Structure 1
Amino acid sequence: MIEKPTPIDTEVGAQTFEDLLHTVEEMDTPDGFKAELIRGKIVVSPWSKLRYFLPMESLKEQLKPHAPDGHATDYAPFLFSFPAAGRAYGPDLFVVDRSIFQGDGRHGDAGALALVAEFTSVSTKDADWCEKLQVYGQLVPLYLVVDMQDREITCFSDPSPSGYRSHRTVSFGKPLTVPAPFDCEIDTTDF
C-alpha cells in the first residue's frame, strides 16, 4: 500500500450508499489502514504515524472527564455513517453515545457523535479541512481539526444545514476552549 489515500472508483449510479457502506464494512484492509466513503468513493488510507499517538492520547484524556454522561471517548477504528450525505468516516478520535455499541452492525449512526477530531496528514489534510468539515458541520456538535503540519488546532461548533457557524483556532502551546457540552480548556503544549 502507498502512503497516500487510494480511492477505489465505482461505476457512477451502479451502487447505492448502502451497497458501498456494506463493501467498506466487509473490506479486509491491511494492518495500519482504514477504509472510508469520501466523495462517493471508497478511500483506503493509512492510520496515523507513531508521532500522532501522544497528541491523540493527550486530547482523549483531556476530553474524557468532560464528555456528556453515557458517552465513550476513543480512537478505535470505528466507522460512522452519514446516509443523507452518502458518506461514512472513521474519525481519528471521537466521543459518542455508548448505546451505539449495543448493536450488531459494523458502523455507527453519526447522529450519536458528540465530538470528532481529525489529525491532519499530508495525505488527508484536504479531506479533513473540506469534505469532512462540510459533512460534520451539518450534524456533529463539535469538530476539532488538529493540523499537524501548521501546528494549530481549530474547534468548530454550532452545526447547521449549511455548516458550522463558529470556530476558533489556536497555535500548539496555547489553550483551546471547547464549548458545551464539554465546557473545558484543552492544553495543547504536548501536541
Structure 2
Amino acid sequence: MIERATPIDHEAPPTFETLLRTVAEMDTPDGFKAELIRGKIIVSPWSKLRYLRPMRALRRQLEAHSPDGHIVETTPILFRFPAAKRAYGPDLFVADETAFKEEGRHADGEALSLVAEFTSVSTKDADWHEKLDVYGQLVPVYLVVDMQASEITCFSDPSPHGYQYRKTVPFGTPLPVPEPFGFSLDTTGF
C-alpha cells in the first residue's frame, strides 16, 4: 500500500474585514462594547459607575489641551488598525474630527492623537499588552488608568517597536502629558 497525503477540507479563518462587518451587524446589548482582540470578537461591559469621575476629570483636562481640530470623546466608536488586524473601542479618545466625516461605522486608527483605557479585572491584560503593542506603533499618547493599582501610566513616542517613553504616577500626583498636548495632568480627582 502506498502512503499518500490526503487533503482535509477546512474553513478558512474569517478575514479582518469580515470580522469588522460582523461587529457592525451585532446587536450588542446596552452597556457592552465589541472589539477585535487577538483575531476574535470580544464583548465586554462598559466601565463601572466609579469610573465616571476620573473619566470626566481626564476628559475636561484633555479638552483644554487638545490639538486644534481634534475632539475628546467617550462615545463607543470602534477604531480600526488594519496592519495589526485589530479594532478597538477605547474608553476615551482624542481624534482628528475629519475622521468622522466618512461613511461607515469604523474610524481609522491613524486619526487618534490619544487613547485612554481604564482597566478592569476583565480588560486589564488586553489594555497592558495587546492594546499597548498596537497603539505603540501609531498613537502619539496612550494613557493606562489602572483602577486596580490606583495609578496612571503615560506612554508616548510611538515607533515600529512600540512606545519609547513611559511614566507612571500614583493617583494624586501630576502626570506630564507630552506633545501634542503638552501639559501636566492633575490626577487628584481620580
Give your verdict on TM over 0.5: yes
- Match of residue 37 from structure 1: 36
- Match of residue 27 from structure 2: 28
For residues 10-52 of structure 1, give each alpha carbon's deviation from its aligned partner in whole angstroms, at most 9, with x where no partner exists.
x983211000011111111000000000000000000000110
Amino acid corresponding to residue 16 of structure 1 in structure 2: T
- Match of residue 163 from structure 2: 164
* Aligned partner of residue 137 in structure 2, secondary structure: coil
- Map residues 46-125 of structure 1 onto 2, 5 A cutoff: 46-125=45-124
For residues 141-177 of structure 1, give each alpha carbon's deviation from its aligned partner in whole angstroms, at most 9, with x where no partner exists.
0000000000000000000001001110000000000
Higher Cα radius of gyration: 2
**Change in 2 beyond 3 A, CA 1:104/1:166:** same
* Aligned partner of residue 185 in structure 1, secondary structure: strand
* Inter-partner Cα distance in structure 2 for 1:110 and 1:146: 20
* Inter-partner Cα distance in structure 1 for 2:90 and 2:24: 15
* Inter-partner Cα distance in structure 1 for 2:12 and 2:97: 35
Amino acid corresponding to residue 107 of structure 1 in structure 2: H
- Match of residue 7 from structure 1: none
Superposed CA RMSD in Å reads 1.0
Amino acid corresponding to residue 13 of structure 1 in structure 2: A
* Aligned partner of residue 146 in structure 1, secondary structure: strand
Q: Structure 2 unaligned runs (5+)?
A: 1-9
* Inter-partner Cα distance in structure 1 for 2:106 and 2:12: 23
- Match of residue 128 from structure 2: 129
- Match of residue 179 from structure 2: 180
**Change in 2 beyond 3 A, CA 1:12/1:172:** farther
* Inter-partner Cα distance in structure 2 for 1:188 and 1:13: 47
TM-score normalised to the size of structure 1?
Answer: 0.93
- Match of residue 189 from structure 2: 190
- Number of residue pairs the alignment of both structures matches: 181
